[in-house]
Structure 1
Amino acid sequence: MHTTGEPTRIIVSGYPSLSGTLLEQLAQAKAEHDHIRKRLMLEPAGHADMYGAILLPKTELTRSGDAHIGVLFTHSEGYSTMCGHATIALGRFLVDTHDLDVFPRRNEIKYDRDTKTAEVNLHCPCGLVRVTVPMTSDLGCSDPSRPVSFISVPSFATGHNIKVNIPLEDRWPELQNRDSLTVSFCYGGAFTCLVSVEELGFGSSGLRLPVPHDSLNRATRILKGVINQDPIYQKYMTHPEHQHVGFLYTLMVVDKSTGRVSSGCEGAETGLCYFADQQVDRSPTGSSVAARVAYAYANGELKIDQSWTYHSLVSNAANGRGRFVGTLMEEAPELYDQDIMLACPVRVRIEGYAYYVGLYTFVVESADPYGHSGFLFNRL
């Protein structure tokens, strides 16, 4: 499937069984079966920007009845703690499949006949995510003409206008004579660093097409490396309950001057997301939408029940089609930690559209020197 052009390769059969809690299954997948992730994400079966989902029928939250199914999110470098675009795609897929071998608790899904929607509770590595999927009038299958939405885990801001010093040998030309820039940090299932396109030195061109991809890739790679290598910034990637999410996953370049405003929204902005090992998200990035809404709330820019439109380069190129909408739903005071957060955490609803593109069967021949673990051409 794809969400605003960003792929989600959903593994429906053939993956080995995992056991234990969701995080224990994640550790087992890394230790024993990571070659399968590489086969499906990397070349020749995939590419540097491929994304995937491994379904987990049994987790501690499916056993307790809180979740219908669990998931591991995969990419070319490894695994994600949260993924909004894949959650939107999985919402449609899970209500459309009736294969109980793939989705054993499929028949427990509840429907709202008034709104023509179905509710799916998805256990992600960051926690429980509640997905609302629009259905056709007869409730027979998902309705692609209406957006899927989900309520993310409590999201919060951790740093505002934080100065980052760039070593002389690492400075990119667009910085000109500056030796530092300012960024902000927030969390929406994964930690995101926000930096404006102007701070990076690309204010004249912004994120209007055509975008200087090579130069932006270089600048963001350097900036993310500086942040990850200096322990002074680690405090901005701290979660009060989950240590396993405590790292910088996403660097989001933001252009608040670009993007069409959707109906019912207060405004719009565009982001260019670099995640994992410089993968570029084609979608507006759901986890970062949750994080950006929480950051806007902490700064007094958004209030409860207000919405904002978030675009990617792809949605802008399609006249706004494929945008995500983030809505500030409510505070989550039970998670509030004043030593970590700039304001009370919030729950955010994110909505977007996902579509099917195909059904594949992958094989590996024993004589194939590239089939076992794959490769990336730009990393040879």
Structure 2
Amino acid sequence: MIFKNLNWKPPKEWKVIKTIELQTGGEPLRVFTEGLPEIRGGTILEKRRYFRDNYVYIRTGLLWEPRGHADMYGAVITEPTTPDGDFGAFFLHNEGYSTMCGHGIIALTKLVLDTGFIKKEGKNPVLKIDAPPGQITAIGHRKEGIVSSVSFINVPSFVLMQNQMLEVNGIGRINFDIAFGGAFYAICEAMELGLNLDKNDFSKIIDYGKRIKNAVAGNFNVRHPFEEDLSFLYGIIFIDNPYDYNNHSRNVCVFADGEVDRSATGSGVSARAAIHFSKGELKQGEKITIESILGTTMDVEIVELTQYDQYQAVIPKVTGMASIIGQNQYYFDPEDPLKEGFILR
């Protein structure tokens, strides 16, 4: 091997950040494990705000090119911010920060249990994860000591608006609902828009998602009842019939700056559960399986009903699977003119 005697190390003045890479249903998660500066704050939202205000170069440098790409997704693990929390986490994407990330919760649960970062005994160990919308309970389902799937109990999910219409430039009139599943989504029928939810319409899905997101956000007031930091439209979800008729349906989420979720979107299927419940299409205790653009799946089940401020809300349980796919270390050379990254979308 040409490089078998390579002993080079970066100069001391270079920043080095180490990561572990995972995927959930095809959606990447880059977890920053070593090399981060101090992240101050007493709550996860405060820590996320501090990171946003002080370390933007880390987000762009590790998620954008040349170290990442336009659809890369990241996570920062912190110490817990609640008395019974196991750890805290917040999530990053090409445009900024997520309010909730189901695929990230699934991947982080796999990561901390399989690596022994957090030691829990039994076949179904339970984790308490302090996340931006509140504490998430996650359960790792082990087979022969390895986590083969993960379920998490999400925050109260509710319908904000139903049966809305809007004229969107370049598309025409759209019909949509808005629901919260840890983040707010506008949810549209793909068939009404002439969209195929597969790779053949990938560019069109991005284009329509960005147009609709900008139009809805500009014309509708999306407000969380308690948290200002959660009060914005996070993404657009297009839904259609499944390609595998053993499943309930297929959906594709477009979020941030035209980022497409490869998974079925854990917070998105939670928002959908709230909508289906409000329409009498899903009852407490019933489970549905939803496909992604790749055909990978997540299950969602309503495990509880609750009142959330003025909203009738559901508590969803989402189940999916993740894989650990690599480890990396990234260098920030102070003289590199592109050290903070760039994005081409």
On whether the aligned pair clears a TM of 0.5, the verdict is yes
| Superposition deviation, residue 210 in structure 1 | 5.0
Q: Secondary structure at the match of 1:91?
A: helix
- Indicate the SS of the match to 1:199: helix
Alignment match, 2:11: none
Q: Which runs of 5+ in 2 are unaligned?
A: 1-21
Match of 2:201 in 1: 212
359 and 120 in structure 1: CA distance in 2 versus 1, 3 angstrom threshold: same
Determine which of 234, 254, 257 is the counterpart of 1:249. Answer: 234
Q: Which residue of 2 aligns with 1:124?
A: 131
Letter in 1 for 2:105: T
Counterpart CA distance in 2 for 1:210 and 1:26 is 33
Partner of 2:189: 196
Structure 2 CA distance, aligned partners of 1:151 and 1:304? 14
Deviation at 1:190, TM superposition (A): 0.1
Unaligned runs of 5+ in 1: 100-105, 173-178, 263-267, 316-321
2:199–2:293 contact (8 Å) kept in structure 1: no
- Look up the equivalent residue of 2:177 and give its one-letter code: S
Whole-Å separation in 2 of the counterparts to 1:285 and 1:257? 15
SS of residue in 2 equivalent to 1:78: coil
The answer as to whether partners of 2:181 and 2:269 remain within 8 angstroms in 1 is yes
2:277 aligns with one of 297, 302, 325: 297
Structure having the higher helix fraction is 1
1:10 is matched with: 31
Instruction: Give the aligned CA root-mean-square deviation in angstroms.
Output: 1.6
| Native 8 Å contact 2:151 2:320 kept in 1 | yes
Q: Give the C-alpha shift of residue 244 in structure 1.
A: 1.2
> Aligned to 1:359, what secondary structure does the other structure show?
strand
Contact 1:133/1:149 (CA < 8 Å) preserved in 2?
A: yes
1:142 is matched with 146
Aligned to 1:31: 53
Equivalent residue letter for 1:118: P
**Secondary structure of residue in 1 paired with 2:53:** helix
Alpha-carbon separation, structure 2, partners of 1:304 and 1:241? 25
Q: What is the identity, as a one-letter code, of the residue corresponding to 2:315?
A: R
Structure 1 length normalisation: TM-score? 0.81
Is contact 1:310-1:324 (8 Å) kept? yes
**CA offsets, 1:37-84, max 9 Å, x none?**
11110000000000010001142x1xx22x111111011111101000
| Partner Cα separation in structure 2 for residue 285 and residue 58 of structure 1 | 24
Deviations 1:191-244 (A, max 9, x none): 011000122233xxx32x4532222322222111111122xx11xx22222221
Letter of the 1:126 partner, please give it: P
Aligned residues: 323
Equivalent positions of 1:362-377 (< 5 A) are: 362-371=330-339, 373-377=340-344
Is 1:330 the counterpart of 2:304 in the alignment?
A: yes
Q: Which amino acid letter does the alignment assign opposite residue 26 of structure 1?
A: R
Q: Report sequence identity in percent.
A: 31
Q: Secondary structure at the match of 1:79?
A: coil
Q: Distance in 2 between matches of 1:270 and 1:93?
A: 27
Q: State how far apart, in whole Å, the 2-side matches of 1:276 and 1:13 are.
A: 26
